Structure 1
């Protein structure tokens, strides 16, 4: 019978890549709030330390690890360190990613390679390393990938990033099938607009008053997402509440994927292409 304890993560150990800021920080703190010990893997050591302090303030163990997820050997070493120092690996959140807008005709090979390295290759390496640790532990586990709604729709200016996120969606499905026999579930969260420090740097117009007005028209729930929206979905997928959920993608987007071109007018009605 379902009980309230099914949402708790007591005694479990989570790894969050890119956990030093933005959505990763929100998820790391959400997992800690529900009882998980958390390893924060981030290229910025100071940021990882700050999040680790917040995890400890919630009464949980924290392990900050400095690593560049584009260095696949460093990723494997980070997972091994978590297993050795925290004793187990139960949850992996593949959050680390990166992009910047660039026109297809202006891309260089270096830009394309970097996008694939940070958004796709790191996903495969980290998932494989964590899954091996979970199999060795014999308790199953949960892997939560942080994609983007751009993995399901066009993203002019972000074509390679969107292609990588589309790849993440299919990787999730395939990995879910391969790891099911080990009791490891693999799912994806696909956020849309969630203002973060990174977004404030490269797309400040989105956070302006005019941008907020547009959000009220284009986002069915009338607002941008926040870190807790993503953390809530991650906690659910990591917990026993989602014990029979694997291989799926959950849009955390306020309804923008469902709206697909429908926008709200000044009177609150819905219009298509107006």
Structure 2
């Protein structure tokens, strides 16, 4: 009954950035519900592995190697999709990324890349997708990925955060504009997620300190930060994509779903050791965090 209400079997999805990590999980999640897949990614090995898994599920999978930084690559991908399939139902813009750096150290070229990689290609992807969706007059679902950094003051990620935040109002505006076209547009917003892309964004010294930290310390820090106690997995994000792609969400458009274990709800309330939830450590928490401190 749930599969029938979801109404995904036989549909076609494109995933820009669908070859590895969170994107691969979304590709497989959709394929498991009977969706045929087209993947655009620059990770050749990851995309080949994801394609093999999709085909093992009995679904068709076409791929193209390319970079969202390239206007021509994205255009050629959609041309391929139009040739390979007679319908398009689902668009997932999951590609993105950044390297952590102080704002004043950035260059114009780096800023332009951050904006294109995290916002500009999304505009192009949607503009190219809509005519393909409308060929069959069935409507469709567009799902963009942003980040918690779009909703808070993310020092060290300022231009990236601004580009991701731009997706939020694009989503709202297009939800209204596309409403009568029966095309829905929504947004998935993760926070910290154990993925290669998230880890590679960090400064080398910070990444090295995390690699050297005992796993139990990392787990304890996540339990402090995330109200649910554990980070959302790529599969958790994929499940949200499947929901937003399906008819189970047919009246949902223009919204953002935070898949973060509650960090966006907390917005700074941390479960400090020895002190419990508070915006800043107090009392026994200070003693635990700073041995030798007098309170």
Band of TM-score, shorter chain:
over 0.9
- Which position in structure 2 is the counterpart of 1:16? 15
- Which position in structure 1 is the counterpart of 2:293? none
Structure 2 runs not aligned, ≥5 long = 282-295
C-alpha displacement of 1:4? 4.3
SS of the residue 1:41 aligns to: strand
Moved more, 259-268 or 66-75: 259-268
Q: 2:258 aligns with which of 230, 251, 255?
A: 251
SS of the residue 2:142 aligns to: strand
Would the aligned equivalents of 1:16 and 1:92 in 2 still touch at CA under 8 Å? Answer: yes
SS of the residue 2:218 aligns to: helix
Would the aligned equivalents of 2:144 and 2:187 in 1 still touch at CA under 8 Å? Answer: yes
- Which position in structure 2 is the counterpart of 1:53? 52
The superposition leaves residues 115-157 of structure 1 with CA deviations (integer Å, 9 ceiling, x where unpaired) of 0111111000001111121122211000000101111111100
User: Per the alignment, do residues 106 and 242 of structure 1 end up closer, same or farther by CA in structure 2, a change over 3 Å counting?
Assistant: same
CA distance in 2, matches of 1:75, 1:202: 23
SS of the residue 2:178 aligns to: helix
CA distance in 1, matches of 2:75, 2:138: 20
- Which position in structure 1 is the counterpart of 2:285? none
Would the aligned equivalents of 1:40 and 1:51 in 2 still touch at CA under 8 Å? Answer: no
1:230 aligns with 2:237: yes
C-alpha displacement of 1:201? 3.6
User: Per the alignment, do residues 130 and 206 of structure 1 end up closer, same or farther by CA in structure 2, a change over 3 Å counting?
Assistant: farther
CA distance in 2, matches of 1:231, 1:124: 22
Q: Find the structure with the greater CA-based Rg.
A: 2
- Which position in structure 2 is the counterpart of 1:66? 65
CA distance in 2, matches of 1:94, 1:145: 5
SS of the residue 1:250 aligns to: strand
- Which position in structure 2 is the counterpart of 1:263? 270
Would the aligned equivalents of 2:20 and 2:43 in 1 still touch at CA under 8 Å? Answer: no
C-alpha displacement of 1:212? 2.3
C-alpha displacement of 1:272? 2.4
Would the aligned equivalents of 1:147 and 1:190 in 2 still touch at CA under 8 Å? Answer: yes
Structure 1 runs not aligned, ≥5 long = none
Runs in 1 of length 4+ with deviation above 4 angstroms?
205-208
**Count of residue pairs the alignment pairs up:** 273
Alignment of 1:110-125 (within 5 A): 110-125=109-124
The TM-score, its normalising length taken from structure 1, stands at 0.95
Would the aligned equivalents of 1:8 and 1:35 in 2 still touch at CA under 8 Å? Answer: no
The TM-score, its normalising length taken from structure 2, stands at 0.88
Alignment of 1:85-100 (within 5 A): 85-100=84-99
CA distance in 2, matches of 1:256, 1:148: 12
